[in-house]
Amino acid sequence: MKNSAQHILTEHLKLKPYKNQERQLQIEAMKAARLERCRQLKCRFVRNLHRRIVFSDEKLFTNEQGHNRQNDRGWAPGTRRIPLDNKEGRQSRRKTEQVKEDEEELLKGGHNMLREKYFYSASWVSPHDQSCLNPTMQSSASFLSIPFLLLSASSGLHGLDPCPHPEEILPCVCYNDEEGNYVILDCSAANSSSQISSAFNDASWPATNLTGFSLVDDNQVEELPEGVFNNVAFKTIYVDNSTMASLHPSALLSSQDQLDFVYIRLCPMKEFPWDTLPQLTSLTALYLKYNRLTAIPSIQSPSLDQMILSHNRISNLEAEWFAPSLTFLDLSDNPISTIPHGFFEGFQNLTLFACRKCELGPTLLSGTLEFYSENLQYVILIHNNISSIEPNAIAGLTPDTTIYLQANNITELTEEVFRPILEVLVFGSGYINLWGVLHGVPYRSVVFFAP
């Protein structure tokens, strides 16, 4: 009978079995709120940053990875093969991983300081998604989070809308939160610099002191010309992955009293208006990475604290810098073969100097790295093709300074070079990282000289 009834229900009546289950009650107000949150969530994923997240079928695979071989797997669209079919391959992999970890460690401290101090979030709501450009976002954008320096009370107009009418500044978009904590103008959808200039010069701005300007993933704007921002000032200027090749000094000087952070990355920019730095009295961070800069003149900036110039084409450095507040200087991945004598005299508070993958080898000459800071903690010289170091090539260290010399071609640790360094480091926590450096020299034959 049971089988007959089941046959009738499934075959003749085409019914499927189910069980009653309790679910959350959905009234109309709840449905409307959930719909709005889903739209906001969709906006957050416009730039596909979620694809950078690694999904694993294991538990935390960063814990005890060397002991649990199943904890090194992840799911991704593509993989890169690493030879592991013999003992030599495994040893090669371990060495490669160790050098890579050291390279990541070399700038971790400084980059973390910069990120914690200047970046609010890694998410970005792109103006290219038209669903994110409704007018209500002008007054209610609490879910907006971008990699900007967000300082409170930047507009000074609590309760008032500091943005112009949306149509006056199109294709730029003005974002502000309800409490006036930040006001940001995003011109990533602009097709020309004239459109950006029109947004500032033709529109009526209730407030002229904004938190930030952004230009991201733009392939049309080639310059920020003279007077582009009119009398509008920013705390942050953020340009990333753009065709902008020219930046007029007035674009910076219009914000000279409050500009704190300049971020320009992945642009064909060959020159920067360095002469404006003495007038930018509030500037503390200058991030010019992955551009096409070729030379750096003598920098004069009493306020600058962080400076990243890595991944450019810089081959020439001038001496006589004056940056007494500078703590972090990164010149990595530039074809720098020589550093002029006395280059570091103006850096009394330098904490980290990085010149990874420069061209300081094969001989590091005497007086090349003579530091004058009592706060020096990191000196990064990885991948410089250094085979020999002259006496006093590295001087002015503190007991807590760590020197990274991995991935070079040093074959001998001479006492006249390394004894003066160790005599300083022995009184603190500093050390010399020589992992993978001594080519052809057995590890047990390395001698460390006692002071």
pLDDT digits (tens, 9 = 90+) for 246-272: 999 999 999 999 999 999 999 999 999
Higher pLDDT, 75 or 123: 75
Token duo for residue 328: 């972090």
For residue 216, what pLDDT is reported?
A: 93
* Mean local confidence (pLDDT), 121-141: 35
Q: Taken in order 170, 173, 174, 177, is the CA torsion positive or negative?
A: positive
Measure the CA–CA gap between 173 and 98, rounded to whole angstroms: 45
For residue 28, what pLDDT is reported?
A: 80
Measure the CA–CA gap between 351 and 110, rounded to whole angstroms: 9
Percent share of the chain, pLDDT over 90: 53
Percent share of the chain, pLDDT over 70: 68
* Mean local confidence (pLDDT), 96-106: 51
Specify the CATH architecture of the domain 123-284. Alpha-Beta Horseshoe (3.80)
Q: Work out the number of other CB atoms within 10 angstroms of the CB of residue 91.
A: 10
pLDDT digits (tens, 9 = 90+) for 155-205: 444 456 788 988 999 999 998 866 657 888 999 999 999 999 999 999 999
For residue 83, what pLDDT is reported?
A: 40
Instruction: Name residues whose C-beta falls within 8 Å of residue 69's C-beta, 6 or more positions apart in sequence.
Output: none
For residue 2, what pLDDT is reported?
A: 55
- What one-character DSSP code corresponds to residue 440? T
Alpha helices, DSSP H only, in 265-357?
none
Are residues 188 and 215 in contact, defined by beta-carbon separation less than 8 angstroms? yes
Instruction: Name residues whose C-beta falls within 8 Å of residue 34's C-beta, 6 or more positions apart in sequence.
Output: none
* Mean local confidence (pLDDT), 414-443: 81
Nearest residue to 162 via CA among 141, 184, 142, 143: 184
For residue 129, what pLDDT is reported?
A: 40
Higher pLDDT, 25 or 199: 199
Token duo for residue 69: 């071989």
Domain with CATH 3.80.10.10 in the chain: 92-120+314-451
* Mean local confidence (pLDDT), 125-134: 38
Are residues 31 and 39 in contact, defined by beta-carbon separation less than 8 angstroms? no
Measure the CA–CA gap between 379 and 356, rounded to whole angstroms: 10
Where residue 396 falls (left for φ over 0; alpha for ψ -120 to 50; beta otherwise) is left
Measure the CA–CA gap between 329 and 62, rounded to whole angstroms: 30
Which range scores top for mean pLDDT: 5-14, 146-155, 202-211? Answer: 202-211
* Mean local confidence (pLDDT), 85-98: 47
Nearest residue to 409 via CA among 384, 431, 392, 390: 384
For residue 75, what pLDDT is reported?
A: 52
For residue 33, what pLDDT is reported?
A: 79
- For the sheet containing 285-289, what is the strand order? 173-176, 183-186, 209-218, 233-242, 261-265, 285-289, 306-308, 328-330, 352-354, 378-380, 402-404, 431-433
| CATH code of the domain occupying 92-120+314-451 | 3.80.10.10
